[in-house]
């Protein structure tokens, strides 16, 4: 089955530690995205990548880093510089080259930092 996987579903970390969230897709999509969602809020764009080895900052990139070494993978690192890292993190992909702009979301990772 084609889709997007994110792991783990729940993640707990101590303050001051970096943590990397996994996102893998087997849809052969060129574009991938990371969003953050806080309770009662919409999704906010962290980073996105339109092609391998290239990525752009979104609206709230400070304290986060990404890499795009393979088409199917787009990991997000939440660094200790992110002041409020506790949130629901969602990865998405799309294939705009085909004219299909709809974004498919993974199940999300709920990160709690204490």
Partner 1 sequence: QQPVQSPQAVILREGEDAVINCSSSKALYSVHWYRQKHGEAPVFLMILLKGGEQKGHDKISASFNEKKQQSSLYLTASQLSYSGTYFCGDQIRGVSGGGADGLTFGKGTHLIIQP
Which positions lie near partner 1, rule CB under 8 A?
31, 33, 35, 40-45, 48, 50, 56, 58-59, 90, 94, 96-97, 99, 101-108
**How many whole angstroms separate alpha carbon 83 and alpha carbon 54?**
26
**Closest CB to partner 1 among 48 and 64?**
48
Residue 48 · residue 56 · CB < 8 Å: yes
**Closest CB to partner 1 among 17 and 100?**
100
Query: Measured from the CB of residue 16, what is the shortest distance to partner 1 in angstroms?
Result: 28
The DSSP symbol for 114 reads -
Q: If residue 84 lies in a helix (H) or strand (E), which one and from where to where?
A: none
């Amino acid at each position: 089955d084609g889709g997007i996987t994110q792991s783990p579903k729940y993640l707990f970390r101590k303050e001051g530690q970096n943590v990397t969230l996994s996102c893998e897709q087997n849809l052969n999509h060129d574009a991938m995205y990371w969003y953050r969602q806080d309770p009662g809020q919409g999704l906010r764009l962290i980073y996105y990548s339109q092609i391998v080895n290239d990525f752009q900052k979104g609206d709230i990139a400070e304290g986060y880093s990404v890499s795009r070494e393979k088409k199917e993978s787009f990991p997000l690192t939440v660094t200790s510089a992110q002041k409020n890292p506790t949130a629901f993190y969602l990865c998405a992909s799309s294939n705009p080259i085909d004219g299909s702009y709809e974004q498919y979301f993974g199940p999300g990772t709920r990160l709690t930092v204490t």
